[in-house]
Structure 1
């Protein structure tokens, strides 16, 4: 086995303060069901996920503090792990001493990114530790197909981290697929679709209600009510919600309307589905179109989860089903399904790599995955084939 990085001297936090612990990360192979070699435009022989485990000198496994210090040291070397993410899309860390939400939070913060504030959240994610919440808690029978995180809103995270606290024995895998490869394949096989997306973008319509719309979904207050307090009258609550929407800073490209006696809010965003990676400038298909298609055609899913998002071309015309079906077919060919082990951490570059969730057997609580979302130093860039200020995403204002 090859050592991925030079080992780093890290002070061992133990009763014997004179000892030091040497910690590094060693790359190792996974079964082909869990890991694959990426196609163009990725560099030759690039795998996803890049699987890493601690490499220590001595008999003892690394402490949590040593692992955290090593991640910080690597990131201080010109963003070493961030560069690996830009190449591989997803990193797997296995064998780290993580046993709780707080442990996971420490590891996640070690990467040095800025915590992502979700404005317009569509799922319920109560905070469990600093910048750590449950992943999507929809019923276990529901398939959540491959997607980039938050493609239906203007403000999406650049990095996503998942920690497996409890691994199911049957199913429950997390998919990994390259959005760069998806764009390349779609451009070759359905070029007219890519050309239309480049020209018009997408129009995303998201419905929010005062009450939860489906199991695991968010309420209007969770989505936009961070400033709402008990005692606010109806007009004040409405104004505070609208002030949060304005933080998107999208002007005419984000509009909204209230219906149902102000119990329902409908937002419409004009967004780019093709974006460029801020470090490589490679185009990526940043979308959940295949996931929306899968949910639409699967009768069982229609019964289990209400569809609150509708996506059209940016000019308001429907996207033909044949293109959505083709995206799903390509995604099935290029994805792998990560089989969780307790303690695993998956780190995604959300601009490059799509994730999701497979159904699982047993009880709902047999699969416990926590999530942490982060902003990078730069947002994705504007694709050269897209014209207009709608095609550039920005970080939400403070």
Structure 2
């Protein structure tokens, strides 16, 4: 039988689905530095991450086949989206003890959840494809801190689910942070209500700059961001037309504008976006943001942070700056509610990107001592917090029209 049983989901009844191969998952505890009980407004006794492993009926990963794990995942998802429901409650799931040894294995496992692969439009980091819908999580130098954030809050088209697979775990550092952006909103509303009120009323102006050449180590180029339809021989006018057609796929109308400069070497997009969104199903508000990350990264990363700041900047939706005191408090709250996932080789973390934040700690040793791959997927687009037109988000159009 395929089963997951845990105190925090007991109210939903026994989660038991017949699978011919007999594989099942069971929850297990992690150290306090790696797992915590979520605060309000989450349901009582809800941990993040919910850690799952093959049940005691199996002697270890060597006795579990990847095909059996994939079949079990598919069946659990076909049973009313069991794992999607767990993600919506816990925010993050950890799978450990499975025979995932390569980008191809990881791709097969991630696709078993049945989500639609996410196409990144306007990518700001370089993610070369390694297997179907699998790329490096981030190729920035190992000294660079990437603080807690939701994926792609600087653009209108963000994934709903993120999968991370640890192919090689560092000995020192390199943890992946985990925190709830629902709890972050709740705590920030209590501690800095004026900040939340301003975000709700004004939203965010997100300015993203793309250049023909990458702006920092691990960053993307203009061609990687919007040039997928450009072919050799296209003149400058045709290239611009194809790039602008990709931007139009966001479906944001006047809420996304752009400007060319430096004789076509630089393209700057300005998006008016909601930093507060709501979780589908519960309608709980979630602070979908990288504001604390921009603040914290700038403090730690020095020159690298300045290059990133030049590429992405965010202010209130009316153009006024966000007071630093608010960003400092936001990072303090994040420090209090986050845990740091200590990777083991073969681990897979799955995030509900609408309600959970991730990041990356620096590590010791060599750059190649930590190899974490990512796979991004679409789901239900989060809803608006209010009723203003700029708060509404949609899935990007399937194809560009030009």
Partner residue in 2 for 1:191: 193
**What is the rounded CA distance, in whole Å, between the counterparts of 1:71 and 1:29 in structure 2?**
21
Residue 57 of structure 1: how far off its partner (Å):
3.4
Residue 201 of structure 1: how far off its partner (Å):
0.4
TM-score for the superposition, normalised by structure 1: 0.94
Of 345, 353, 358, the match for 1:355: 358
Q: Alpha carbons of 1:58 and 1:329: their partners in 2 closer, same or farther (altered >3 Å)? A: closer
Partner residue in 2 for 1:61: 63
Q: Aligned ranges for residues 1-398 of structure 1 at < 5 Å?
A: 3-4=5-6, 8-11=17-20, 21-55=21-55, 57=57, 59=59, 61-298=63-300, 300=302, 302=304, 305-307=307-309, 308-376=311-379, 378-383=380-385, 386-398=386-398
Q: Alpha carbons of 1:175 and 1:231: their partners in 2 closer, same or farther (altered >3 Å)? A: same
Contact 2:180 2:356 in 1 (8 A): yes
Residue 295 of structure 1: how far off its partner (Å):
2.2
Contact 2:17 2:79 in 1 (8 A): no
Structure 2 unmatched ranges of 5 or more: 7-13
Residue 156 of structure 1: how far off its partner (Å):
0.3
Q: Deviations over 1:297-330 (max 9, x none)?
A: 3353546853211000001100000000000000
**What is the rounded CA distance, in whole Å, between the counterparts of 1:24 and 1:8 in structure 2?**
9
Find the residue that maps to 2:114 and give its secondary structure: coil
Q: Deviations over 1:14-34 (max 9, x none)?
A: xxxxxxx31111000000000
**What is the rounded CA distance, in whole Å, between the counterparts of 2:287 and 2:58 in structure 1?**
45
Residue 56 of structure 1: how far off its partner (Å):
5.8
Q: Deviations over 1:198-218 (max 9, x none)?
A: 001000000000011111100
Find the residue that maps to 1:355 and give its secondary structure: strand
**What is the rounded CA distance, in whole Å, between the counterparts of 1:3 and 1:297 in structure 2?**
42
Q: Deviations over 1:38-86 (max 9, x none)?
A: 0001001100000000126355621000000000010011100000001
Structure 1 unmatched ranges of 5 or more: 12-20
Partner residue in 2 for 1:17: none
**What is the rounded CA distance, in whole Å, between the counterparts of 1:296 and 1:47 in structure 2?**
31
**What is the rounded CA distance, in whole Å, between the counterparts of 1:274 and 1:58 in structure 2?**
43
Q: Alpha carbons of 1:216 and 1:341: their partners in 2 closer, same or farther (altered >3 Å)? A: same
**What is the rounded CA distance, in whole Å, between the counterparts of 1:3 and 1:301 in structure 2?**
48
Tell me the number of residue pairs that the alignment of Structure 1 and Structure 2 aligns.
385
Q: Deviations over 1:98-153 (max 9, x none)?
A: 00001000100000000000000000001111111110110000000000000000
Q: Deviations over 1:203-243 (max 9, x none)?
A: 00000000111111000000001101111111111110000
Residue 387 of structure 1: how far off its partner (Å):
3.4
Contact 1:210 1:263 in 2 (8 A): yes
Q: Alpha carbons of 1:164 and 1:69: their partners in 2 closer, same or farther (altered >3 Å)? A: same
Residue 296 of structure 1: how far off its partner (Å):
2.3
**What is the rounded CA distance, in whole Å, between the counterparts of 1:330 and 1:135 in structure 2?**
25
**What is the rounded CA distance, in whole Å, between the counterparts of 1:301 and 1:113 in structure 2?**
38
Find the residue that maps to 1:298 and give its secondary structure: helix
Residue 8 of structure 1: how far off its partner (Å):
4.9
**What is the rounded CA distance, in whole Å, between the counterparts of 1:101 and 1:166 in structure 2?**
12
Q: CA RMSD in A?
A: 1.4
Q: Deviations over 1:240-271 (max 9, x none)?
A: 00000000010100000000001000000000
Partner residue in 1 for 2:9: none
Partner residue in 2 for 1:16: none
Contact 2:216 2:304 in 1 (8 A): no
Contact 1:23 1:56 in 2 (8 A): no
